[in-house]
Amino acid sequence: MLRQLSSYALMLTAAATLSACGGQSGDAAKPAATGSASSAAAPAKDGNVTIMNVSYDVMRDFYKEYNPLFEKEYAAKHGGAKITIEQSHGGSSKQALAVANGLKADVVTMNQSSDVELLEHKGLIQPGWAAKLPDNAVPFTSTTVFLVRKGNPKGIQDWNDLIKDGNQIIIAHPKTTGNGRYSFLAAYGQALKANNGDEAKAKAYVAAFLKNVPVMDNGGRAATTTFVQRGIGDVLITFENEANLAAREFGKDKFEIIYPKYSIKAENPVAVVDKVVEGKGTGAVAKEYLDYLWSKPAQELAASLYLRPSNAEVLAANKDKFPAIETFRANDVFGSWDEIMKKFFKDGGVFDEVNKK
């Protein structure tokens, strides 16, 4: 029996209900906190304000704890003024499209730059957004790992084990989620390295990889639900923080995490949505909200939830949580995110070419 469900587990339970018919889930463009999108306005005369953070689905847990930290900090700095922070979570690309189509996000906190760049191309975010915050606007990072069932019954240790006959892989959909894209690019990138840059052999590997995928969910949290609660698959390919939270919440006696020898570095950029905050008069508040992600309390919170903090001191203090792993940056191997999206994930790209189902 699973132990009593925590808030994380309850979220998975709700997602399981939504995804039971066809493996689809997520709440893109759906505010999930106090207030409503229409209530968001410029700061009132008493200093009270509402902002919306549109984020990707596996960051529910972080922002659930981060927002109260910031609310307390905001009140202390602004004479007790109250800030209300609305949240919206879903597959990262769906979330970016929702903002592009009118969801009034003051800030976006995504898991890859392409989703922020989409909003830049739409004129919602000004060019140069990455330079306006430390670390190219990436407060913490993650990497792609394997979550397997306790005892690792299929003996999965590295990428080549995934393509063996009979091994079922669970991933989020690479065309709709950053989690899925990182999983696909991690698989492709390691195959390139193993085959000395041979693109044909890399494509053959990911074709075999996708052949072993029985279902692709429209969000990283939905993929976790499919593996953890619906019991489908032998291995879940997901972010390190999501794998650790799933193992922690549902018991180390039920799952274990496998670190491949070589994987991808997942960078999680954040940005103010300039056009929205200009209309609402919330630019300074939105910037303050993002700036606080680099504070020591926020960085320590990130580490506690298995996100690799950008603060070197906090990272060193939590080194036991983060095994050493050789990683590569998507941009260093594949080019800009515009180039990556065009080559791999646009209609007719590499993903469509190798996904024969």
Average the pLDDT over 260-289 and give the result: 97
Q: List the beta bridge partners of residue 55.
A: 89, 109
The answer to whether residues 340 and 260 belong to one domain is yes
Identify whether 54 is part of a domain.
Answer: yes
The answer to whether residues 188 and 288 belong to one domain is no
Q: How many residues are given for the chain?
A: 357
Q: For tokens 């029996």, name the residue.
A: 1
Contact between residue 64 and residue 34 where contact means Cβ atoms under 8 Å apart = no
Contact between residue 47 and residue 79 where contact means Cβ atoms under 8 Å apart = yes
The answer to whether residues 128 and 244 belong to one domain is no
The answer to whether residues 91 and 193 belong to one domain is no
Identify whether 52 is part of a domain.
Answer: yes
Instruction: Measure Cα distances from 319 to 174, 246, 297, 304 in Å.
Output: 30, 20, 17, 11
Q: In the chain, how many domains are there?
A: 2
The model's pLDDT over 48-89, given as tens digits with 9 standing for 90+, comes to: 899 999 999 889 999 999 999 999 999 999 999 999 999 999
In 3-state terms the chain splits into helix, strand, coil percentages (rounded to 5) of 50, 15, 35
* Residue 45 pLDDT exceeds 60: no
Identify whether 214 is part of a domain.
Answer: yes
The answer to whether residues 226 and 126 belong to one domain is no
Average the pLDDT over 198-223 and give the result: 95
> What range defines the domain where residue 159 resides?
143-266+325-354
Share of the chain above pLDDT 90, in %: 78
Q: Report DSSP state, residue 344.
A: I
Beta strands, E only, the chain? 49-56, 83-90, 107-109, 140-149, 169-172, 216-217, 235-239, 255-258, 262-267, 270-272, 308-309, 326-329
The model's pLDDT over 84-143, given as tens digits with 9 standing for 90+, comes to: 999 999 888 889 999 999 999 999 999 899 999 999 999 999 999 999 999 999 999 999
Identify whether 6 is part of a domain.
Answer: no
Instruction: Measure Cα distances from 256 to 149, 159, 179, 353 in Å.
Output: 6, 16, 19, 33
* Residue 23 pLDDT exceeds 60: no
The answer to whether residues 204 and 344 belong to one domain is yes
